[in-house]
Amino acid sequence: MSVNIVIGTQWGDEGKGKIIDIMASRADVVVRSQGGNNAGHTVVCGGETYKLHLIPSGILYKDTACLIGAGVVIDPKVLLGEIDGLSARGISFGNFKIDPRAHVIMPWHVELDGLSEKFRGNSDIGTTKRGIGPAYMDKYERSGLRIYDLVNPEIFAKKAKSAGELKNKIITAVYGGEALDVEAIIAEYVEYGKRLKEYVADVSVLTYEAAKAGKNILFEGAQATLLDIDFGTYPYVTSSHPISAGVCIGTGVGPMIIENIIGVAKAYTTRVGKGPFPTELDDEIGETIRNKGGEFGTTTGRPRRTGWFDAVIVRHSVRVNGLSSLAINKLDTLSGIGNLKVCVAYKKPDGSTLKDFPATLEELEGCEPIYEEINGFDEDISKCRSFDELPKACKDYIARLEELCGCKVSMVGVGPSREQNLER
Ligand code: GDP
Ligand code: IMO
Ligand code: MG
């Protein structure tokens, strides 16, 4: 048996989808435990590209069970669209299940996400506007609708009516927006519930039983550590726990079954949405990295902000997640850009040095990255198929990241496809 978690160590889009797809070849079960369709995970195989938002990235293997745990928030329309799109490409959903406890993203959540962002004006978070925050708000306020409700039309109609009417008051009276047609929404969503009913099963039980049977389980993280509601750059974060501990809460299993926690990082740093980014590059190098790395959001298409590798944030991730090892993706993107810089610590405005990522934005304010320069490389490494084939400068770069982050690197990515992953 092996039970692994794959988690993002930066601000998302580290290439988790690729690593999960590769590891899923050895997994019996792949489970998602938090977030929703704010995620966009890309899997490239056999010349085909799949962009997954809700469906676990193990879905390309027909015998792998793909489960969505209680901690995920589900937009049923998006989920069904994804099921239909993948089914049309020959992907099987015979082993796909959703926990009845997972909360449903309703149209008013999407509407309120947009309205509250607009209301914040220049202080907006830069959310994906998928209704994630408002759906989690209702969950914790104990007024949310769950998948169990959705697939039981009478219960759903009653709960959705009262929820929708209240949200309409907020939409119109607080934000000056237009009321939604609650009856029409109920009629539409009851149909979604009918289609999703066949997939509903207790994911906590399924995962526990798989563990007891000695099966290989892979937990698929979405978002990333610096977007965690508590351990990220609050308030510029998402509304869930994308850290390793979130896996247990969002699936309903105990921490003792976990054996390995793999943190995925890019060989540099990116961020979509607003919020602090100490090593951000607003220059030609940043633009080159964006274009070479195709750094445009998988979910929203927004250009991703780019910058140097920040060992302070990855060290934070090593600690917060208890990482066993790191997977460093997109090393190929750094070829030909000259010498590389890595942030080793921050210099505070009073001249002192900060080694641990601070708890608040106020403490981060005015901090400047302290860089170490490392030799770059010009070779095309995308055709390397083993770590030993990499040029010396690449090996030295990886070795330095290991030292600075205090964690071994077990995989290096030199391209988006399955075979462009060098395992050590
Ligand atoms: P995720 O959200 O963490 O799954 O990452 P995304 O799919 O949003 O973004 C990662 C992007 O980088 C995708 O377009 C991947 O196909 C691509 N990618 C992943 N690993 C590598 C790599 O090692 N090299 C290159 N060039 N691209 C990669
Ligand atoms: P994957 O799984 C990158 C960011 C948004 C925004 C903030 C809050 O593909 O790595 P939300 O819609 O969640 O309320 O937005 O979080 N964000 C992501 N950034 N990758 C993601 O997922 C993200 N999911 C949310 O851009 O800054
Ligand atoms: Mg992504």
- Where residue 305 falls (left for φ over 0; alpha for ψ -120 to 50; beta otherwise) is beta
* Residue 107 sits in the same domain as residue 243: no
pLDDT digits (tens, 9 = 90+) for 4-60: 999 999 999 999 999 999 999 999 999 999 999 999 999 999 899 999 999 999 999
Helix (H) or strand (E) holding 74, with range, is strand 73-74
* Residue 290 sits in the same domain as residue 346: yes
pLDDT digits (tens, 9 = 90+) for 336-375: 999 999 999 999 999 999 999 999 999 999 999 999 999 9
Above 90 in pLDDT, residue 1? no
Of the listed ligands, the closest to the CA of 227 is 2
Active-site position among 21, 28, 41, 241: 41
Range of the domain at 139: 103-196
**What pLDDT was estimated at residue 300?**
87
Q: What is the Å distance from ligand 3's center to 17 Cα?
A: 8
Q: What is the Å distance from ligand 2's center to 93 Cα?
A: 26
CB 6 within 8 A of CB 221: yes
Summary mean pLDDT of the chain: 97
Among the candidates 141, 171, 196, a domain finishes at 196
Tokens of 397: 């770069």
* Residue 278 sits in the same domain as residue 389: yes
CATH number of the domain encompassing residue 159: 1.10.300.10
Active-site residue, 282 included: no
Tokens of 195: 């289609």
* Residue 399 sits in the same domain as residue 352: yes
Please choose, from the candidates 360, 137, 359, the residue with its C-alpha nearest in 3D space to the C-alpha of residue 240. 137
Q: What residue's CA is closest to ligand 2, atom 27?
A: 273
Q: How far apart are CA 318 and CA 229, in angstroms?
A: 17
* Residue 182 sits in the same domain as residue 320: no
* Residue 217 sits in the same domain as residue 342: no
15 C-beta closer than 6 A to ligand 1: yes
Q: What is the Å distance from ligand 1's center to 222 Cα?
A: 13
Task: State what percent of residues in the chain have pLDDT above 90.
Answer: 98
Above 90 in pLDDT, residue 189? yes
For ligand 2, mutation pick of 272, 280, 302, 305 (most atoms within 8 Å of CB): 272
In the structure, which protein residues have their CB atom closer than 6 angstroms to any atom of ligand 2? 8, 11-13, 38-41, 125-128, 130, 132-133, 222-224, 227, 238-239, 272-273, 298
Above 90 in pLDDT, residue 99? yes
* Residue 115 sits in the same domain as residue 158: yes
CB 193 within 8 A of CB 160: no
Instruction: State the average pLDDT over residues 140-163.
Output: 98
How far is CA 262 from each of CA 67, 97, 149, 356, rounded to the nearest angstrom? 19, 24, 35, 21
Q: What is the Å distance from ligand 1's center to 42 Cα?
A: 6
pTM over 0.95: yes
Which ranges of 197-323 does DSSP label H, i.e. alpha helix?
203-212, 244-251, 284-292, 311-321
Above 90 in pLDDT, residue 298? no
Active-site position among 13, 75, 113, 138: 13
CB 323 within 8 A of CB 61: no
**What pLDDT was estimated at residue 147?**
98
Q: What residue's CA is closest to ligand 2, atom 26?
A: 273
Strands 340-347 and 353-354 come out as antiparallel
Q: Quick check: helix, strand or coil at residue 3?
A: strand
* Residue 248 sits in the same domain as residue 222: yes
193 C-beta closer than 6 A to ligand 1: no
Q: What residue's CA is closest to ligand 1, atom 13?
A: 42
**What pLDDT was estimated at residue 299?**
85
> For 375-405, b where at least 16 C-beta lie within 10 A, e where not — what string?
ebbeeebeebeebeebeebbeebbebbeebb
Among the candidates 147, 164, 196, a domain finishes at 196
Tokens of 161: 């009516």
Instruction: State the average pLDDT over residues 122-133.
Output: 97
Instruction: State the average pLDDT over residues 222-248.
Output: 98
Interior CA angle at 382 toward 380 and 390, to 5°? 75
Interior CA angle at 204 toward 232 and 138, to 5°? 50
Among the candidates 230, 260, 290, a domain finishes at 260
CB 266 within 8 A of CB 356: no
The owner of tokens 């306020």 is 141
For ligand 1, mutation pick of 6, 7, 14, 18 (most atoms within 8 Å of CB): 18
Q: How far is CA 120 from the centre of its chain?
A: 24
Q: What residue's CA is closest to ligand 1, atom 12?
A: 15
Of the listed ligands, the closest to the CA of 333 is 1
Phi, psi (deg, nearest 5) at residue 44: -115, 120
- Contacts for 39 with CB less than 8 Å, ≥ 6 apart: 12, 52, 53, 54, 222, 223, 299
**What pLDDT was estimated at residue 11?**
98
* Residue 92 sits in the same domain as residue 212: yes
* Residue 192 sits in the same domain as residue 215: no
CA-CA-CA-CA dihedral for 377, 382, 385, 389, to nearest 10? -20
266 C-beta closer than 6 A to ligand 1: no
Instruction: State the average pLDDT over residues 245-256.
Output: 98
Count of the separate structural domains present in the chain: 3
Q: How far apart are CA 121 and CA 376, in angstroms?
A: 41
DSSP characters over 308-360: -EEHHHHHHHHHHHT-SEEEEE-GGGGTTS-SEEEEEEEE-TTS-EE-S--SS
* Residue 139 sits in the same domain as residue 71: no
* Residue 91 sits in the same domain as residue 223: yes
Q: How far apart are CA 207 and CA 141, in angstroms?
A: 27
Active-site residue, 113 included: no
Q: What residue's CA is closest to ligand 1, atom 28?
A: 416
Q: What is the Å distance from ligand 3's center to 110 Cα?
A: 19
Tokens of 417: 């496809």
**What pLDDT was estimated at residue 60?**
94
Paired residues of 48 in beta bridges = 45
Above 90 in pLDDT, residue 205? yes
pLDDT band at 165 (very low <50, low <70, confident <90, very high): very high
